[in-house]
Chain A
């Protein structure tokens, strides 16, 4: 099943799947940046929102832009999707390790199954995804593809 995409995003501002994790560029909603929170005290960085540091509990966190490239820490080809999955089946789920430390789970696209390798370089890709038969459900979702 292919998500219906296109028309709405031409009429409306594209929406991030989760603006605490993915900030879309103001001038081009098909591009954006993954967001992390870095601890000013101990340097530990997490993907997505945080109020206190996971490691030292400091409240002194700063939001940072995470790298758009990382390496494939692990992967799986999901044959039985979770309920509500709006994409194709099977799909590849990748766990990508970013240079700042966090691991980010997302679909891996544009890669043949037999080309998947632990350690391969990956780059961020953004794609519009809508929930089938759910009005106004289109969101820009972060994915990985081979660098």
Chain B
């Protein structure tokens, strides 16, 4: 059901981050504001030139946090929209910013997101839900169910999953913003304590806080705003989908990769490219199995083959399709409001050639995928 009609070209002209980690002294607004200031500085555009802003976050920290955060930069009176779309809240804010510009309504937009998170396993249902009696409302148990099944169907060994974490930590060790920068061996990962068999602790993303922001601008407005075209990265596609019944509607596992495929196909169609054209990928790796299944859903590798590609180093920084080049959720954690824009930040940084020691050689096309409860999936494609 293709129902998109992009108009003007849209570019990411500035990206910013607040470090990812635990920041008990800082409020949600602090994390968000720091990322916004960083992104505005990167773009060279002043806050007073921004006509609209979209703020992604999930956990409740009072009403209208987007407004109260940006009020600190000056009361300019522009529309500010708070977005809650589960794990894809940040990437949904980015999607809205894109469509606000390509449709012709705005020349520029700010997308930002941040999260303060409680510790412990994440649940998606209310406190008094019958789910609490059933025992199935458990994100990592959902991933573990998928991992057991994937191992059964593909013959993937446990060490292949551990290699996903090993790679993530290697990438993160070169990323000053990452929450977890220590590197691990396959044995370290497999010997960490079991959370839900066969998932071990180091194969699950940490609970982290952080902030991320991006400034977007219409291609026909770049010059008017004095933006450096050599650092502007084009948004070739921005796709957002909800649950799509495709004959597998009874699949129970959280973040089913079956939901990613429709968004991916939509994004490839919009960008006029195919998976074979993709140079770098950021996917939703809340657990190791997530990365393998999401890159398969994006058709980067055929079904059941991502584990082999990982073992062969094809998804490492030096491989033919590097995946989660900044360390992904496995090393950055998953502050829901920030994650999707953090992926955009990394994609932009890589496509600009500004990633320093973790720079991939000459990437031209990057894909960022994020998915969440409610089968919310975003697939964004950026090109140089």
Contacts and interface: CB of A to CB of B under 8 A. Distances in A.
Given A82-B138, A105-B136, A76 B148 contact: yes
A101 B250 contact: yes
Given A81-B138, A93-B138, A118 B245 contact: no
A14 to B, nearest CB: 13
Interface size class of A (residues with CB under 8 A): 35 or more
Interface string A102-138: 1111110000000000100000000001010000000
Interface stretch (B104-112, B119-127, B275-283): B119-127
B136 A55 contact: no
Contacts, number: 108
Contact of A75 (B145, B199, B245): B145
Nearest to B200: A79
A93 B145 contact: yes
B179 interface: no
B197 to A, nearest CB: 4
Given A54-B249, A85-B135, A105-B134, A76 B145 contact: yes
A46 interface: yes
Interface residues of B, number: 35
B67 interface: no
Nearest to B137: A82
A77 B141 CA distance: 8
Contacts of B140: 80
Contacts of A93: 135-136, 138, 141, 145, 196
Contacts of B195: 79-80
A139 B133 CA distance: 8
Nearest to A93: B141
B194 interface: yes
A74 interface: yes
Interface of B: 120-121, 123, 127, 130, 132-138, 140-141, 144-149, 152, 193-199, 245, 247, 249-253
29 contacts: A46-B249, A55-B247, A74-B145, A76-B196, A76-B199, A77-B194, A77-B197, A79-B195, A80-B196, A81-B121, A81-B135, A82-B121, A82-B123, A82-B135, A82-B141, A85-B132, A93-B135, A93-B138, A93-B196, A102-B250, A103-B250, A106-B134, A106-B135, A106-B136, A107-B135, A118-B148, A118-B152, A129-B133, A141-B133
